[in-house]
Amino acid sequence: MAEPITMPQLGESVTEGTITRWLKAEGDEVEQDEPIAEVDTDKVNTELPSPLAGTLQKLLISEGTTVDVGAEIALVATGGEETPESPPREDAAAEAPTEEFPAAHTEAQPVASASPTARTETMPGGNGNGRSVADAEELRLRRSSPVVRRLAAEHGVEISSIPGTGTGGRVTKKDIESFVEDQEPAPKTPPEPARAAPQRVAAHDGDRIEELTGIRRAIANRMALSKREIPHAWTLVEVDMTGLVALREREKTAFMEREGVKLTYLPFIVQAAVEALRENPVLNSVWDGDRIVLRKKVNIGVAVDLEDALIVPVIPNADELNLTGLARRIDAVVKRARSGELTADDVSGGTFTVNNPGSLGSVASAPIINHPQAAILQAEAIVKRPVVVDDAIAIRSIMNLEVSFDHRVLDGGVALRFLNAVKRRLEEYGPESGTG
């Protein structure tokens, strides 16, 4: 009996994957969890382990082809009697996946034997797990009302793409009218399918055109999404790092010898941020349409520059690690990021992001929030500056520390309480502080 292998979801917000190379050929035996293909997604390149053991009967996707998550990519014959043809019921379902309501008395909708898919669709959902209620609520919002549906059809807009101000976030007639009004001034374009051809710029002599890599496209999509959806606000404080600089200078050699990793400023900043997040949990949250989800876990994404791209591996449960633990984990993911060894898990589940463009010499920048998180912390270069200390001019090591935040979720007050909490912790360090 042949069972399909589908494209798995390799990380949050990953919707498709490219089979870059098949590691097995048709007819090969595969063990469970044995790699059968190399897959390139927006986030990672990884090997795809077989979820089944058996004989690889058919490869449904050719190398270099991109398919949606959930699409069938191969068939594996899993022991038992060898049936060259699948039962007609499954065939019908596979051939007509887009037929929402197959005609009666056809293969897809046999008279007597209800297909498994048909059964799930008609099964009453009220089994106590709240699923059907959520579905009904989602339908209510998506269907909105007759006039909204009519206007959506007339103007070719998706109701779900419009922010709703009605009961429970419903899109009202006024919402869609003002949405359409905002859109219309642009030259009237016919309603476009989801994947419209991008508008091309004029190419000049000698221009070189580079096709997007998966990671470049992912960065482009995520950044555009973040800027489009999130009303960014930005603020900055100056942090006197003199004490911490002295501490690091004193400890770095011993730390390297003892722990085997370099002592950078990043773990200090991440630790201070984690503690400040505990005091200001709203920065560790997500805007969720008509509510805010406050994350319990503190999973800190650390932005890593890869010369031609940027990737944000995640340190899960960063609040459970001490300074040394953070230093080791950060060092490990940065190394894996640079050598292209990150797994899907390494880049999933972040709740807050710390970026340190200071390591590249930046002294001020306005970061784009790592959608859908609520905020991002930005640590700039530590620069010696003349500053006023106790009414005297002193040379101090100063660092600009910035936060961009989702102004729907929080306001400047809490953003600055957070920043000042980070600042206070960083300024408490002195040459005599430990690095445990």
DSSP per position, 418-429: HHHHHHHHHHH-
- H/E element, 41: strand 35-41
CA-wise closest residue to 50 among 42, 41, 64, 39: 39
Using rule CB under 8 A, residue 147 touches other proteins: yes
Cβ proximity to other proteins, 127 vs 167, nearer residue: 167
The span of 111-119, 141-149, 192-200, 400-408 binding other proteins (CB under 8 A) equals 141-149
Nearer to other proteins, 172 or 221 (CB): 172
Taking contact as CB under 8 A, which single stretch among the options 28-36, 142-150, 263-271, 408-416 is the one that binds other proteins? Answer: 142-150
For the stretch 305-308, contacts whose Cβ atoms lie closer than 8 Å and that sit 24 or more positions apart, written own/partner, are 305/360, 306/337, 306/338, 308/216
Other CB atoms within 10 A of residue 369 CB: 24
Q: Does 146 bind other proteins (CB under 8 A)?
A: yes
Q: Which of 155, 232, 345, 407 is catalytic?
A: 407
Question: Closer CB to other proteins, residue 124 or residue 146?
Answer: 146
Total site size for other proteins, rule CB under 8 A? 10
At what angle are helices 412-428 and 242-259 packed, to 10 degrees? 70
The smaller minimum CB distance to other proteins, of residues 170 and 371, is found at: 170
* Residue closer to other proteins (CB basis): 24 or 170: 170
| Residue whose CB is less far from other proteins, 150 or 385 | 150
Q: By CB under 8 A, is residue 408 in contact with other proteins?
A: no
Rounded Cα distance, 83 and 1, in Å: 6
In this complex, which beta carbon is closest to other proteins, that of residue 150 or of residue 262? 150
Helix (H, G, I), strand (E, B) or coil at 141: helix
Is residue 409 close enough to count as binding other proteins by CB under 8 A? no
**Does 86 interact with other proteins (rule: CB under 8 A)?**
no
User: What is the rounded CA–CA span in Å between residue 108 and residue 100?
Assistant: 10
343 interacts with other proteins by CB under 8 A:
no
Catalytic-residue membership of 371: no
Query: Does position 140 bind other proteins by CB under 8 A?
Result: no
Among 143, 150, 278, 385, binds other proteins (CB under 8 A): 150
CB of 174 to other proteins, least distance (A): 8
Q: Which of residues 182-221 bind other proteins (CB under 8 A)?
A: none
CA 269 – CA 273 distance, rounded (Å): 6
Tokens 């221009």 belong to which residue? 207
Using CB under 8 A as the binding rule, whether residue 145 contacts other proteins is answered as: yes
Residues in the chain: 436
List own/partner pairs for 387-391 with CB under 8 A and 24 or more apart.
Answer: 387/240
> CA distances (Å), 93 to each of 7, 124, 402, in order?
18, 21, 53
166 binds other proteins (CB under 8 A): yes
Least distance from C-beta 175 to other proteins, angstroms? 10
Interhelix angle 242-259/323-338, nearest 10 degrees? 70
Q: Which stretch binds other proteins (CB under 8 A): 169-177, 180-188, 216-224, 351-359?
A: 169-177
List the alpha helices (DSSP H) in 260-321.
266-279
Q: How far is the CB of 133 from other proteins (least distance, A)?
A: 19
Find the part of the chain contacting other proteins (CB under 8 A) among 92-100, 165-173, 313-321, 362-370: 165-173
CB of 187 closer than 8 Å to CB of 157: no
Judge whether 407 counts as a catalytic residue: yes
Question: Do 385 and 395 form a contact (C-beta atoms < 8 A)?
Answer: yes
What three-state secondary structure class fits 362? coil
Minimum CB–partner distance for residue 398 and other proteins (Å): 50
**Secondary structure of residue 160 in the 3-state scheme:** helix
The residues that are catalytic are 407, 411
Binding site for other proteins (CB under 8 A): 145-148, 150, 166-167, 170, 172-173
